[in-house]
């Protein structure tokens, strides 16, 4: 059985590679010939943990090929549509790529063909897609449409594919899902050799959720919008914590213990980014508007998110007084760790703002430098966090990469001009920063002042003394507030 995946982006390439990994023969297509050549030469168009080895293993085993769309759809029994749906000027999703694929399927596919809509699309797209397929279908084609929204996250996409919470299927006839259920069989049964975990402890079988197509499409947009709302909510709570002298990490912990709320996605910061949440929230608002429903709640989610960067720049300016001419290091460019994706990344907005204010910016990211360079060539990009921090008057942490948590504080202290950290992701160890003489400002928590004693003395002192000193410092700041 030939399975084809149209679109070799984050979702398409991951889906194709993982389907091949569980034993299917997969043809992955893209209309970008350069991307296809890159993939055929064994290189990846983006960074995603584990993806390269899975692609390489399955190409060698002859289970994964890269072709153009026409070749891929010809003779395919199941076709996953994974092409991009970028935002139009008015916030609606641009469905032209989806429509083009439908036309190619109609013209080229033959016999029975299950068309699986995986791209994130507005509700009722499935119905349009079905009409489009019928319109262009040749006589030999018997087509069935299934909506199968994708929930994988960049940076943990492979893990998410192998261990999903649920697989959602939107169908008109339940029998249409039989083939798809067989395709996902090893995932549903959790009986595959896991390429991520050596001793795979997940094992929990995902739920198989069958709905109508409209509901399946809504599940995707509603899920992303809800998660975005959770982030904006905790960001507002963080602002309130700062205003009244509370600690958002404690508030979030207390809230998250309620299973009705849950602790995930309650990390405050400089806002959500990436190619999903910002565009999906916008598109969802437009969908609701067109359907005559006032979803202004989500407009506020967007507004709160847009203000995060401004708020952060205000924090920087409060600490530095004047930004113009100041040397500032920015750690992290990707919209989240473990990816090189900078689309709608808060770091890009922040860098633009700092440059506008006249700062002299040096930036570092473990993976995203090349992609950031393409959109912001005027920044000085560095090869390490220390190089970026050289002579800096402030270090701004924008993406919570593990590398930053493992920072050598002494080395960092030795290179900066002024020991000031503004942590936009609450990711560094505040006490370690203080012990090494840094003034540490984060989101929704009291600032931690630099410990006046030399770090070497504190290193020799028992751990509880260090903690006591930091506690005194913290109490000092809290009472000053
Ligand atoms: C998101 C969803 O989580 C996936 O389920 C979905 O499949 C995907 O969009 C998509 O539609 O394709 P992704 O954009 O890869 O996945 O990343 P997330 O981990 O959801 O993070 C999104 C943004 O929210 C990031 O900028 C992250 O830093 C931010 N975030 C996340 C917070 O600011 N706080 C949090 O507590 C969590």
DSSP collapsed to 3 states, 354-412: HHHCCCEEEEECCCCHHHHHHHCCCCEECCCHHHHHCCCCEEEECCCCHHHHCCCHHHH
Residue 102, Cα to own-chain centre: how many angstroms? 28
- If pLDDT is split at 50, 70 and 90, which confidence band does 201 have? low
From CA 206, how far away is CA 390, in angstroms rounded?
48
Residue nearest to atom 1 of ligand 1 (CA): 153
Average pLDDT over residues 266-284: 96
CB 330, CB 346: distance < 8 Å: no
What is the chain's mean pLDDT, rounded? 92
Query: Among 17-26, 198-207, 235-244, 361-370, which is the least confidently predicted range?
Result: 198-207
Q: Whose CA is nearest to atom 30 of ligand 1?
A: 272
Distance 116 CA to ligand 1 centre (A): 23
Please write the tens of the pLDDT for every residue from 110-151: 899 999 999 999 999 999 999 999 888 888 889 999 999 999
Ligand 1 atom closest to Cα of 345? 26
DSSP string covering 168-207: EEE-SSGGGHHHHHHHTHHHHHT-S--SS-SS----PPPE
Ligand 1 surroundings by CB, under 6 angstroms: 120, 150-154, 224, 227, 231, 265-267, 269, 272-274, 276-277, 335-336
What residues are labeled active site?
A: 276
Pairwise CA distance, residues 216 & 210, whole Å: 8
Measured by CA distance, the residue closest to atom 7 of ligand 1 is 151
Q: pLDDT: is 459 or 13 the higher one? A: 13
pLDDT digits (tens, 9 = 90+) for 143-199: 999 999 999 999 999 999 999 999 999 998 888 889 999 999 999 999 988 888 877
Q: Helix 296-320 vs helix 213-244: angle between axes, to the nearest 10 degrees?
A: 30
Helical spans, DSSP H, in 32-124: 33-40, 51-60, 69-73, 96-108
Percent of the chain with pLDDT strictly greater than 70: 94
* First CA to last CA distance, the chain: 67
Considering only 91-100, 361-370, 381-390, which range has the smallest mean pLDDT?
A: 91-100
Give the model's confidence band at 477: pLDDT under 50 very low, under 70 low, under 90 confident, else very high.
Answer: very low
Atom number, ligand 1, closest to the C-alpha of residue 269? 33
Residues in the chain: 481
- In this predicted structure, the answer to whether residue 467 has a pLDDT above a threshold of 60 is no
pLDDT at position 459 is 58
* Average pLDDT over every residue of 463-471: 43
Q: With bands split at pLDDT 50, 70 and 90, how would you rate the model's confidence at 455?
A: low
How many A from CA of 140 to the centre of ligand 1? 42
CA of 226 to the centre of ligand 1 (A): 11
Which residues have C-beta within 8 Å of that of residue 106, sequence separation ≥ 6? 132, 133, 134, 135, 136, 137, 138, 141, 143
Q: Compute, in angstroms, the gap from residue 481 CA to the centroid of ligand 1.
A: 33
Q: What is the mean pLDDT of residues 260-268?
A: 98
Q: Which among 239, 217, 216, 235 is positioned nearest to 227, based on CA atoms? A: 235
> CA nearest 434: which of 418, 423, 445, 421?
421
Mutational test site, ligand 1, from 51, 161, 224, 278, max ligand atoms within 8 Å of CB:
224
The least confident of 143-157, 200-214, 264-278, 296-310 is 200-214
């Amino acid at each position: 059985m030939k399975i084809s995946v149209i679109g070799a982006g984050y979702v398409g390439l991951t889906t194709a590679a993982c389907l091949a990994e569980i034993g299917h023969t997969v043809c992955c297509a893209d209309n970008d010939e350069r991307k296809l050549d890159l993939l055929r030469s064994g290189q990846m168009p983006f960074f995603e943990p584990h993806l390269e080895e899975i692609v390489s293993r399955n190409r060698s085993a002859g289970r994964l090929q890269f072709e153009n769309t026409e070749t891929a759809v010809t003779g395919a029994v199941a076709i996953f549509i994974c092409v991009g749906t970028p935002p139009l000027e008015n916030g609606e999703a641009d469905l032209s790529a989806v429509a083009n694929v439908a036309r190619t399927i109609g013209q080229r596919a033959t016999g029975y063909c299950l068309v699986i809509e995986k791209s994130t699309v507005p509700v009722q797209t499935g119905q349009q897609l079905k009409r489009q397929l019928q319109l262009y279908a040749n006589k030999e084609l018997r087509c069935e449409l299934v909506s199968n929204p994708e929930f994988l996250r960049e940076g943990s996409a492979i893990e998410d594919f192998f261990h999903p919470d649920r697989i959602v299927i939107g169908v008109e006839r339940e029998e249409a899902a039989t083939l798809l259920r067989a395709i996902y069989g090893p995932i549903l049964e959790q009986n595959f050799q896991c390429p991520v975990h050596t001793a795979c402890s997940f094992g929990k079988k995902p739920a198989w959720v069958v709905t109508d197509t409209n509901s399946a499409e809504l599940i995707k947009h509603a899920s992303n919008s809800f998660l975005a709302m959770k982030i904006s909510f905790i960001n507002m709570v963080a602002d309130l914590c700062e205003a009244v002298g509370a600690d958002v990490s404690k508030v979030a912990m207390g809230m998250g213990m309620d299973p009705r709320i849950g602790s995930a996605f309650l990390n405050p910061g400089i806002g959500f980014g990436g190619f999903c949440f910002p565009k999906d929230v916008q598109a969802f608002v437009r969908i609701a508007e067109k359907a005559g429903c006032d979803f202004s709640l989500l407009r506020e989610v967007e507004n709160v998110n847009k203000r995060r960067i401004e708020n952060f720049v205000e924090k920087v300016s409060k600490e530095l007084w004047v930004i113009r001419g100041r040397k500032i290091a920015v750690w992290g460019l990707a919209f989240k760790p473990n990816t090189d994706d900078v689309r709608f990344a808060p770091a890009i907005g922040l860098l633009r703002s700092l440059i506008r204010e006249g700062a002299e910016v040096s930036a570092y990211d473990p993976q995203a430098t090349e992609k950031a360079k393409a959109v912001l060539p005027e920044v000085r990009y560095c090869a390490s966090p220390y190089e970026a921090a050289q002579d800096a008057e402030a270090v701004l942490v924008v993406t919570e990469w593990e590398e930053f948590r493992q920072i050598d504080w002494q080395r960092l202290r030795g290179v900066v001009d002024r020991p000031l950290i503004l942590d936009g992701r609450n990711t560094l160890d505040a006490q370690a920063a203080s012990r090494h003489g840094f003034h540490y400002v984060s989101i929704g928590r009291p600032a931690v002042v630099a410990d006046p004693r030399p770090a070497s003395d504190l290193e020799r002192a028992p751990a509880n003394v260090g903690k006591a000193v930091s506690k005194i410092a913290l109490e000092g700041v809290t009472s000053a507030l």
